[in-house]
Amino acid sequence: MHRSMLPRMLFVSMTLICAFLIGACSEQPKPEAKADTSKADEEIIRKMSYEWIEAYNKKDTKWFDTVMADNYTMVHARGTIHNKQQEIAEAVADTSKTELDRLQDVKVSVYGDAAIVTSIEHLQGQAGEVKFDLQYFYTDVYIRQDGKWRVVTTQSTRLPDGSTE
């Protein structure tokens, strides 16, 4: 290689590198776009949280099968741990009569392809001859798989009787 060509090759190389970096940077989402996506994801997941209540009460196994990841794990307030199939079976087998099933204080935090949802569920009804008025605090973890949000784990904690928080 001739010495006089070295500056010219260096210039061409630097120009190509700069062009590549500018192109790569311009493809990055704008902060506003990320915020819009995050808000849209929050709304999708919030809606799924309310749909969960409806699906449980209607014993909609298809909804659970679609939304729960195959490796879903539920840690119940009573200390039992269920996988996806056990949780669906429990929903189907539940014979209690629910008069009130209200989700409140739903908070959704999205972290890229993961999200955490906290909420309180207030239940009133009757199981056999026993009336109940219960509240549970839930933490659900969602991940985005193949472009769809799926719940991978849930932890429930029973709140003290009469609790509003």
**Domain boundaries in the chain?**
34-158
The DSSP 8-state label assigned to residue 18 in this structure reads H
Paired with 119 in beta bridges are 138
* Nearest alpha-carbon partner for 69 in 115, 121, 122, 135: 115
Strand partners, 25: none
Contacts 24+ apart (CB under 8 A), 70-73: 71/152, 72/150, 72/151, 72/152, 72/153, 72/154, 73/152, 73/153, 73/154
Q: How far apart are CA 151 and CA 91, in angstroms?
A: 16
Q: Where are the alpha helices (DSSP H) in the chain?
A: 5-26, 31-58, 61-67, 84-93
* pLDDT tens, residue by residue, 47-81: 999 999 999 999 999 999 999 999 999 999 999 99
pLDDT value for 161 = 79
**pLDDT score for 63:** 95
51: amino acid identity, one letter = E
pLDDT (mean) for 21-50: 69
Using only the alpha carbons of the chain, give its radius of gyration.
Answer: 25
Helix (H, G, I), strand (E, B) or coil at 2: coil
pLDDT value at position 27? Answer: 47
Tell me the pLDDT band of 36, cut-offs 50, 70 and 90: low
Per-residue pLDDT, 133: 95
Question: pLDDT, tens digit, for every residue of 83-94?
Answer: 999 999 999 999
Q: Which pLDDT score is estimated for 13? A: 44
Task: Output the pLDDT for position 20.
Answer: 44
Q: How far apart are CA 69 and CA 65, in angstroms?
A: 8
Distance of CA 74 to the CA centre of its chain: 14
pLDDT at residue 35 is higher than 50: yes
State how far the Cα of 107 lies from the Cα of 89, in Å rounded to an integer. Answer: 28
Q: What fold is seen in the domain 34-158?
A: Nuclear Transport Factor 2; Chain: A, (3.10.450)
Which one is predicted more confidently, 135 or 27? 135
Mean pLDDT of 109-135: 95
Place of tokens 């009469």: 162
Amino acid at position 86, single letter: Q
In this prediction the pTM is: 0.74
